[in-house]
Amino acid sequence: MSESFRVDLRGIVDLLSHHLYTSPQVYSRELLQNAVDAITAVQLDRPEYQGRISITSGDLTGDGSLEIRDNGIGLGERQVHELLATIGRSSKRDELGFARHEFIGQFGIGLLSCFMVSDEIRVSTRRGDEPTVLWHGRSDGSYAVELAAADRQRAEPGTTVTLRPRPGTEHLLTRAAITRLAGHYGSQLPFPVTVDGTELTGGTAPWARPEQESAATRRVRLERYCEEVFGFTPFDVIDIASAEAGLNGVAFVLPMPANPAVPAAHRVYLKQMLLAEGAERLLPDWAFFVRCVVDTTELRPTASREALYEDSLLAATRDALGDRLRGWLLRLGTGDPARLRSFLRVHHLGVKAIAVHDDEMLRLVEEFWPMETNVGPLTLAEFRARYGLLRFTPQLDEFRQLAPVAAAQGLAVLNAGYVYDSELIDRVATLDRELVVEPLRAADLTTHLERLDVADEGSLGPFLATADRVLGRLGCDVLVRSFEPSGLPALYLLDEDTAFQVDVRSTREQVDETWAAILGSFQSATDPRPRLILNHRNPLVRQVLTLGEPELTGMCLEGLYVQALLLGHHPLRPADTAVLNQSFLGLIGRAVAAGGAA
Ligand SMILES: Nc1ncnc2c1ncn2[C@@H]1O[C@H](COP(=O)(O)OP(=O)(O)OP(=O)(O)O)[C@@H](O)[C@H]1O
């Protein structure tokens, strides 16, 4: 024997109100959408048909109940039984059960949202010339249907839904509340919507382009809209469209940096009714520098209506809208480079993120984005034109360390330590095989530093012995070279590999045997050490080299070592801090003693 499921309506309404809808206020959206769909159903056969939705608020009805009346297609008696009383049954699907794109609704549950504010829903409806049908549904799951008596026959086809507020929800059905809610969801509808006789519709939609409106007036209108709705004055306003999604809209470019980690939320209208204020995934992830308002006829909402359904059409729309934004950027590059530069100052991260896999964007960045170099800000294109190659440091710390010395050697170097910069340089090189790309590492720089002549080198024996003893304890090698700027006494060179090995070594000393053994497998056999390069051209260093007194020489070396660490923004280990104190106090002691003696 087969039986039918029974449905506990209270349970379903509870489920919807707690898990699907964000607030009981959405009852107004669902009622408006049903009225809009009913009018659309008439317009499918009679496109010129003038729709109308009139709402009577709880203030005017006198008993607090709210009425929403439309002149849409209405329902006959049989349809009332079938559609209003069957949860999940909708007239808006085709024979195969697919949502028909003309309508907003599709799931057959929207009307139930009214049970969040009312224990009973009354519907009076008339289809064509059929008699008016009255339906009365209650939240306990019971309903009644009757044909209306002669004095309650509707004068024209259409539907009126009446809700009587449940105690505690009266405030959602007042004139003030329904004016705000119906205005929020329905103010852009293409036919009149009134509350207690006052029309809420009639303004120009943001995506509209009235023929008589000049470009300048439209721009002012859209800027004002953006200020009101999104809270900022846009850097630029871009029209966006996708024929496939029946989408028209406007993208507003943020005048301030946006957090790329926070998904951009857009205002989406579906057939001119507000669907969601925080719709995500409408644009590609990289387009975090715009906020959009769009109207679409083809994209589908999720059952909650607060988001767009992720399908192949949404994916294609995302690509199409992304192309529009790229086009805008490219046009800015050719038509208004100064403006593109000011855009990049704010949004370079977003654009660089695209450039990593988009050649045209890469060209824009190459040509217009000034990167940090040790000879002042230069674009990649300028750097290349001037020096014939791209020489860069991949790490910010390395750049800080090497930039001044490299500049004094006549070596220009780009700082590629910021997000995406190294990847962009790699890509430029992949696209142009002729281009020489040269990472500058700490170790490379020593080859650019001049060796001393044999006589000078020979006289340094005793000094180097002291230096090895003093700085060897700190795990650092000492070299003497001659380089510019002569004002720089010493340079501490630590490249990435050496830094890693130094880290592994010091961690091994602090952990137990098991971990020490694991870390040991990362340690290289050659045991590279950082180097302190003393500058033979520096007058003070020359004096230190010939001091001849090991204790004073040691203190000077320690002082120079710590100063070089600080200049290169290297962290000080406890041993370094101890050396700083020791040399500093020692040298003061020496100076004071010398002063006293004089
Ligand atoms: N104002 C109206 N005029 C005519 N028919 C209506 C009206 N309101 C509801 N209906 C009928 O009742 C059915 C159920 O409405 P309901 O709002 O529950 O679901 P839906 O609009 O079909 O889908 P969704 O759950 O996505 O909103 C509709 O498919 C429609 O046939």
Domain boundaries, the chain: 9-199, 219-334, 370-447, 449-494+530-597
- Cβ atoms of 286 and 350 within 8 Å: the answer is yes
Ligand 1 atom at minimal distance to the Cα of residue 108 = 19
User: Among residues of the chain, what percentage have pLDDT more than 70?
Assistant: 94
Q: Quote the ligand 1 centre to 34 CA distance (angstroms).
A: 5
Burial code (b: 16+ CB inside 10 Å, e: under 16) for 401-435 equals: bbbbbbbebebbbbbbbeebbbebbebbeeeeeee
pLDDT-wise least confident of 407-421, 490-504, 537-551: 490-504
Q: Quote the ligand 1 centre to 66 CA distance (angstroms).
A: 18
Which amino acid would we find at residue 335? G
Q: Tokens representing 243?
A: 């024929």
Q: Look up residue 301 and give its DSSP letter.
A: B
Q: Which residue has its alpha carbon closest to ligand 1 atom 21?
A: 105
Q: Which residue has its alpha carbon closest to ligand 1 atom 7?
A: 34
Q: Measured between alpha carbons, how far is 519 from 521 in angstroms, rounded to an integer?
A: 5
Residue of 55, 111, 126, 302 with the most ligand 1 atoms within 8 Å of its CB, for mutation: 111
Q: Quote the ligand 1 centre to 64 CA distance (angstroms).
A: 24
Q: Taking each helix axis from N to C terminus, what angle separates 359-368 and 337-355, rounded to the nearest 10 degrees?
A: 130
Q: Quote the ligand 1 centre to 490 CA distance (angstroms).
A: 80
What is the reported pLDDT for 511? 66
pLDDT of 19 higher than 90:
no
pLDDT top residue among 324 and 7 = 324
Q: Quote the ligand 1 centre to 355 CA distance (angstroms).
A: 47
- Cβ atoms of 305 and 344 within 8 Å: the answer is no
Ligand 1 atom at minimal distance to the Cα of residue 305 = 26
Q: Measured between alpha carbons, how far is 401 from 567 in angstroms, rounded to an integer?
A: 7
Q: Measured between alpha carbons, how far is 396 from 413 in angstroms, rounded to an integer?
A: 12
- Cβ atoms of 247 and 317 within 8 Å: the answer is yes
Residue 291: C-alpha distances to residues 63, 205, 235, 254, 370 (Å): 43, 16, 11, 7, 26
What is the reported pLDDT for 88? 84
Q: Quote the ligand 1 centre to 38 CA distance (angstroms).
A: 8
Instruction: Please state which architecture CATH assigns to domain 370-447.
Output: 3-Layer(aba) Sandwich (3.40)
Q: Quote the ligand 1 centre to 110 CA distance (angstroms).
A: 7
Q: Quote the ligand 1 centre to 208 CA distance (angstroms).
A: 29
Ligand 1 atom at minimal distance to the Cα of residue 68 = 1
Q: Measured between alpha carbons, how far is 287 from 262 in angstroms, rounded to an integer?
A: 11
Q: Tell me whether 0.85 is exceeded by the ipTM.
A: yes
Q: Quote the ligand 1 centre to 280 CA distance (angstroms).
A: 27
Q: Which residue has its alpha carbon closest to ligand 1 atom 9?
A: 34
Q: Which residue has its alpha carbon closest to ligand 1 atom 1?
A: 35
Which amino acid would we find at residue 382? E
pLDDT digits (tens, 9 = 90+) for 499-542: 566 666 666 666 677 766 665 665 655 667 888 999 999 999 99
pLDDT-wise least confident of 131-140, 184-193, 350-359, 400-409: 400-409
Q: Measured between alpha carbons, how far is 534 from 490 in angstroms, rounded to an integer?
A: 4
Q: Quote the ligand 1 centre to 106 CA distance (angstroms).
A: 8
Q: Quote the ligand 1 centre to 90 CA distance (angstroms).
A: 6
Q: Quote the ligand 1 centre to 114 CA distance (angstroms).
A: 12
Ligand 1 atom at minimal distance to the Cα of residue 104 = 26
Please provide the size of the chain in residues. Answer: 598
* Average pLDDT for the chain: 90
Residue 424: C-alpha distances to residues 316, 343, 377, 392, 472 (Å): 27, 19, 17, 12, 40
Residue of 29, 34, 70 with the most ligand 1 atoms within 8 Å of its CB, for mutation: 34
Q: CATH number of 9-199: 2.160.20.10, 3.40.50.2000, 3.30.565.10, 3.30.360.10? A: 3.30.565.10
pLDDT-wise least confident of 139-148, 167-176, 351-360: 351-360
219-334 placed in CATH 3.40.228.10: no
Q: Give the CATH class of 449-494+530-597.
A: mainly alpha
Burial code (b: 16+ CB inside 10 Å, e: under 16) for 447-476 equals: eebeeeeeeeeeebeebeebbeebbeebeb
Mean per-residue pLDDT for 178-195?
A: 97
Q: Which residue has its alpha carbon closest to ligand 1 atom 31?
A: 91
pLDDT band with cut points at 50, 70 and 90 for residue 445: confident
Q: Which residue has its alpha carbon closest to ligand 1 atom 10?
A: 34
Mean per-residue pLDDT for 80-86?
A: 88
Q: Quote the ligand 1 centre to 58 CA distance (angstroms).
A: 23
Which residues' Cβ are closer than 6 Å to ligand 1? 30, 34-35, 38, 70, 72-75, 83-84, 90-92, 105-111, 159
Q: Quote the ligand 1 centre to 108 CA distance (angstroms).
A: 6
> In terms of pTM, does the model score above 0.80?
no
Residue 47, SS3 per DSSP = coil
Q: Which residue has its alpha carbon closest to ligand 1 atom 4?
A: 74
Ligand 1 atom at minimal distance to the Cα of residue 72 = 3
pLDDT band with cut points at 50, 70 and 90 for residue 443: confident
Q: Measured between alpha carbons, how far is 54 from 75 in angstroms, rounded to an integer?
A: 18
User: Among residues of the chain, what percentage have pLDDT more than 90?
Assistant: 64
pLDDT digits (tens, 9 = 90+) for 209-241: 999 999 999 999 999 999 999 999 999 999 999
- Cβ atoms of 104 and 33 within 8 Å: the answer is yes
Residue of 28, 83, 116 with the most ligand 1 atoms within 8 Å of its CB, for mutation: 83
Q: Measured between alpha carbons, how far is 204 from 293 in angstroms, rounded to an integer?
A: 13
What is the reported pLDDT for 500? 61
What is the reported pLDDT for 467? 93
pLDDT of 343 higher than 90:
yes
pLDDT of 575 higher than 80:
yes
Helices (H), 135-214: 175-186
What is the reported pLDDT for 571? 84
pLDDT band with cut points at 50, 70 and 90 for residue 16: confident
Residue of 9, 69, 90 with the most ligand 1 atoms within 8 Å of its CB, for mutation: 90
If we measure between CA atoms, which residue out of 370, 425, 429, 369 comes closest to residue 394? 425
